[in-house]
Structure 1
Amino acid sequence: MEKRALGKTGIRVSEVAFGGVEIGMPYGIGVHGREDMLPEQDAIRLLHAAVDGGINFFDTARLYGNSEEIMGRAFHDRRKDVVLATKCRHLHAPGQPLPPSETLREIIWGSLQESLRALQTDYVDVFMLHQASAAILDSQEVAAVFRDIKRQGICRATGISTYHTTETEQAVASGDWDVIQLPYNLMDQRQALCFDAAEAAGVGLVVRSVLLKGILGDRGRRLHPALKDVEVHVGKYAALQDELPLAEFAVKFALSSRQVAAVLIGIDKPEYLEATLRTADGRYLDAAAFAAAKRLSYPNPAFLDLPAWDRNGWLK
């Protein structure tokens, strides 16, 4: 698998980042408990197989159950072979103010130390905030703590996870963050508005939600009646796929953007890993196909709110 520069960090990462949430906790459509998850030893074998297949970029978080612990056991003797990104605990509850400066420092440093112990390492390659809020993006204290961690060599790069283009724009303009993880896929291409500015600033972009939790794949058929327009729109991509399965086409679309360093894909089964390795083969969309796919984004991307769909019972 080819490697791409992660912005100006000096780190080169595989075009696929192995998403570690599914190996650490019940997550995703149809996963209700640990009985639906891989046993730990199988998860470790899957991580080793990913490295052997050319993936060197692994994404986890303090809040992903025991994902960090599993990665620590898998990679403690292969640390030089992998790029580890992990995320800090949440700094505040939604709608609540940030805690005082000293408390912020304690949360961030405490979370980092927990991650280092779990991952069995003395540094992480990318240390990230789990999600941006207006308060976090406005906080010079938060940015200063992350700069201090980087200055001490405990992380090689700092990062932040965003959901909205306004957050991404602010994060890029601030100059405080080396890496931004953001949602981007065939249906919802709003974040592409920020790609050129991120490239100019040397910010590495990691794309998540590339399969829209499986809607851009096998789960995009026979959707709830409330999602009929979504299902019809997903069907329109067949004219562009050139016999590729939709999930493969969706991944190749994201990797066709030169500004994207890696796509983050949740992998919790050997067959998913094998399909991912086949897809990330260095052969992506030509200019005409890429332009056609960009024109076929969903006309109302604000409706693509999967947590809301789940709450409404539309994803069962």
Structure 2
Amino acid sequence: MEKRPLGTTGMAVSEIAFGGAEIGLPYGMGVTSEADMLSEKEAIELLHASIDAGINFFDTARLYGTSEAIMGKAFHDRRDQVLIATKCGHFRDSDGSLPPAATLRKRIETSLRESLTDLQTDYVDVYMLHSANLEILQNQEVARIFSDLKASGAIRSTGASLYSVEEAQAALDSGVYEVIQSAFNLMDQRQETVFSDAIQRGVGLVIRSVLMRGLLTEKGKNLHPALQPVENHIAKYQELLGEAAPDLATLATRFALSFPAVSSILVGMDRLTYLHQSLEAANGRYLDEKTVVRAKELAYPDPTFINFPHWDKMGWL
């Protein structure tokens, strides 16, 4: 497994990062309850297999159910072999507003303390805002708290998990957040507009939704009728398959890793088979310039329609 610099944090991360949502709560296509998930023992075995395969970067969050606790059990005696990124719990008041400075600090510090306890460690390598919007990213008190946590040694680097290009640019402009996690894939390529700025500022980019919860795999067929335009578009990527990428999942993985600005891509894994597939796809040989150009031309024409929470709400998944 090749490693890349995580911006200017001084850390080198595996090109594939283990996405920890699936081992902590029901998540992804076809997973509707705990009955569809790995047992704790199986999840720990998968985490250990990932380390043995060369993956050193593991992503989780306070809001990912039991994910942190499972990682804590898996890594307590292997802490020096892994880099852990986790995300702060949400800290808004019940009416959606941000609380006063003292309350804000208490909630963020409490969330971190709970994460450290579950992870069985005294520091995390990357501590991120979760679903950060412009108000949070531009809030000076939030920035101050995260900077203080880094100065204390409880976290090695600061980060923000976000959605829009505007949010990514705000995180870059803040000068506070050293790692950005956002979605980028064959269908939705909007985040590429900030890639060059991230390189110039030394900010590490961690990419999620590379496989679009499984849509950019063999699962992306026989979708709900409302998603027929999406399924039709996914079929267009067949023209890019061949020696460089024998299947859609490999194409999607290698496309994201073909951008030098990308430090690592998150792959949600809840099966050993998915680990092996990811390792085969991330083999250090990525797409040539001609294929990348064509893939960029095949971005979905209306990326705003790619909205999984809305699809979930409508019962389309």
TM range (shorter): over 0.9
In structure 2, the partner of 1:277 is 279
Give the Cα separation in 2 of the matches to 1:79 and 1:89.
23
* 1:294 pairs with 2:296: yes
Task: Give the letter aligned to residue 305 of structure 2.
Answer: F
In structure 2, the partner of 1:78 is 78
* 1:246 pairs with 2:241: no
Give the Cα separation in 2 of the matches to 1:162 and 1:100.
23
* 1:258 pairs with 2:260: yes
Q: How does 1:57-136 map to 2 (within 5 A)?
A: 57-92=57-92, 96-136=96-136
Give every structure 1 segment of 4 or more consecutive aligned residues whose post-TM-superposition deviation is greater than 4 Å: none
Q: Alignment partner of 2:26: what SS?
A: coil
Give the Cα separation in 1 of the matches to 2:94 and 2:257.
32
- Percentage of pairs with the same residue: 56
Deviates more, 1:90-99 or 1:241-250: 90-99
Q: How does 1:184-195 map to 2 (within 5 A)?
A: 184-195=184-195
RMSD: 1.1
Give the Cα separation in 2 of the matches to 1:266 and 1:221.
19
Deviates more, 1:196-205 or 1:87-96: 87-96
CA deviation after TM superposition for structure 1 residue 225, in Å: 1.7
- Contact 2:138–2:174 (CA under 8 A) maintained in structure 1: no
CA deviation after TM superposition for structure 1 residue 309, in Å: 1.4
Give the Cα separation in 1 of the matches to 2:148 and 2:279.
37
CA deviation after TM superposition for structure 1 residue 191, in Å: 0.5
What TM-score does the superposition give when structure 2 sets the normalisation length? Answer: 0.97
CA deviation after TM superposition for structure 1 residue 135, in Å: 1.7
Q: Alignment partner of 1:10: what SS?
A: coil
Deviations 1:44-63, CA, capped at 9 Å, x for gaps: 01000000001000001111
Aligned positions, number: 315
CA deviation after TM superposition for structure 1 residue 292, in Å: 1.0
Give the Cα separation in 1 of the matches to 2:122 and 2:33.
32
Give the Cα separation in 2 of the matches to 1:25 and 1:252.
27
Deviations 1:128-167, CA, capped at 9 Å, x for gaps: 1111122211210000010011111111100001100000
- Contact 1:28–1:213 (CA under 8 A) maintained in structure 2: yes
Q: Alignment partner of 1:264: what SS?
A: strand
- Contact 1:168–1:180 (CA under 8 A) maintained in structure 2: yes
Give the Cα separation in 1 of the matches to 2:309 and 2:117.
32
Give the Cα separation in 2 of the matches to 1:228 and 1:268.
27
Deviates more, 1:223-232 or 1:205-214: 223-232
CA deviation after TM superposition for structure 1 residue 214, in Å: 1.1
- Contact 1:182–1:191 (CA under 8 A) maintained in structure 2: yes
Q: How does 1:171-182 map to 2 (within 5 A)?
A: 171-182=171-182
Any gaps of 5 or more consecutive residues in structure 2? none
Task: Give the letter aligned to residue 143 of structure 1.
Answer: A
In structure 1, the partner of 2:156 is 156
**Structure 1 253/32 Cα, relative in aligned 2: closer, same or farther at 3 Å?**
same
- Contact 2:189–2:296 (CA under 8 A) maintained in structure 1: yes
- Contact 1:97–1:135 (CA under 8 A) maintained in structure 2: no
Deviations 1:234-282, CA, capped at 9 Å, x for gaps: 1110001216110111010000000000000100111111111111111
Q: Alignment partner of 1:143: what SS?
A: helix
Give the Cα separation in 1 of the matches to 2:233 and 2:35.
34
* 1:26 pairs with 2:26: yes
- Contact 2:40–2:70 (CA under 8 A) maintained in structure 1: yes
Q: Alignment partner of 1:252: what SS?
A: helix
